Amino acid sequence: MSGALARVSLTRVPSLTWYVPAMHLRYRFRAYPTAPQRISLARLFGCVRVVYNDAVAARKSARAAGLPYPTTAMLDRRLITEAKQTPEREWLTEVSTVPLQQALRDCHAAYRAFFDSRRGRRRGPNVGPPRFRRRSHRQTARFTRNGFSLRPNGRVYLAKVGELAVRWSRELPAVPSSATVERTATGNFFVSFVVVVEPGAELLDPLPVPEADTGIDLGLHEFAVLRGGKVIENPRFFKRMERRLAKAQRMLSRKTAGSANREKARLNVARIHEKAGYRRSDWIHKHVKTIVAENQGIFVEDLHVGALSRGLHAKSFREAAFGIFLRRLEVKAVRAGRSFRRVDRYFPSTRLCSACAAVTGPRGLGELKVCNWICECGAVHDRDANAELNLRREGRRLENECRMVAAGHAET
């Protein structure tokens, strides 16, 4: 299993348009460590976890005593440099210092996100304080350029671990700035690289520039409705495996804690979750690529995914993964030079008649099952197709407005 993810730093400018100052792309590849390397990686994951937990404990102790929080430099000296000289933590010398320092930086970033969230400086839902990491489930360790290198033989060298065999599925577009080794809950190993691509660099294969654009109306019965009534069915990967998962979880609950049979049952449950996630991710990538290749303008509703995942039909919304779909669609659209626009979530795309612009369509939870409706002007509408058309028109209007404003700023 391999793939590439991207995190695009989008910045708002006065012209109401978006520009991309830099792209941070993450490429993930399957790794196959040897038996001695697995032992070294297990030791590395344990040391990273201990240093992170020590940092969280130190800051909690400082807060309980009414003292200022220790800085990252202070924790680096106390929890790594000085700790290596004590009998209780001398085994920290067996691993590279680079991932230990990155663990402290991760702890600092987690506390900064928590405080920014409390003070209203961070967008999105509220973030809780950092918690202690567990030794089960997913384990990671991050290396900067001082701790890893790419060898000519196609292997990845990690400090105090050795050369890892990697299944390369594609070439890296630039020299990576960091490498993260990961062990999943099923025991598989991956190595992911972050590369920074400068603005204007060719990131994707040249795609033909279509003249068409589309709105995208998302839903649960049909995953999406596009231009011309094209429907993308909801695959419901998790629901297909739900009975199998329930059986595996029942078997897990009957095993004795700490036994080898319980570990086998736990791996069986983890594999089912992992398989459903891989299928969903692959399905999303394929449909996003098709949408970007076929449309120059892509207009979607700015859904409040967090609220949908907590309200009515929360399980179905989480399974559909609208947030992942919209993020990947935006990233790939920007990389391909397409126009991507989010329409305000309060825009009445479903209730607005596309013929006379009257707001007479179905409303509220009681009319969610209404698939077709007739406007007072006599127009007959399919609920999702009408919403897609309204989103497309509103997206065009917003795009033209931004271009006019940008042209005015350029003239001044």
Residues annotated catalytic, as ranges: 217, 301, 384
For the chain, helix (H) and strand (E) counts, in that order, are 10, 17
Phi, psi of 20 (to 5 degrees): -110, 105
Residues 197 and 173: their CA atoms lie apart, in Å, by 8
Nearest to 4 by CA among 21, 22, 23, 26: 26
Nearest to 21 by CA among 204, 195, 194, 196: 196
Residues 29 and 192: their CA atoms lie apart, in Å, by 6
Query: Count of alpha carbons within 13 Å of 104, Cβ hemisphere only?
Result: 21
Residues 41 and 190: their CA atoms lie apart, in Å, by 12
The DSSP code sequence of 215-267 is EEEE-SSEEEE-GGG-EEE---HHHHTHHHHHHHHHHHHTSPTTSHHHHHHHH
Nearest to 326 by CA among 348, 354, 299: 299
Using a 10 angstrom Cβ sphere, with 0-12 exposed, 13-18 middle and 19 or more buried, the burial of residue 214 is buried
Residues 226 and 286: their CA atoms lie apart, in Å, by 15
Query: Count of alpha carbons within 13 Å of 252, Cβ hemisphere only?
Result: 15
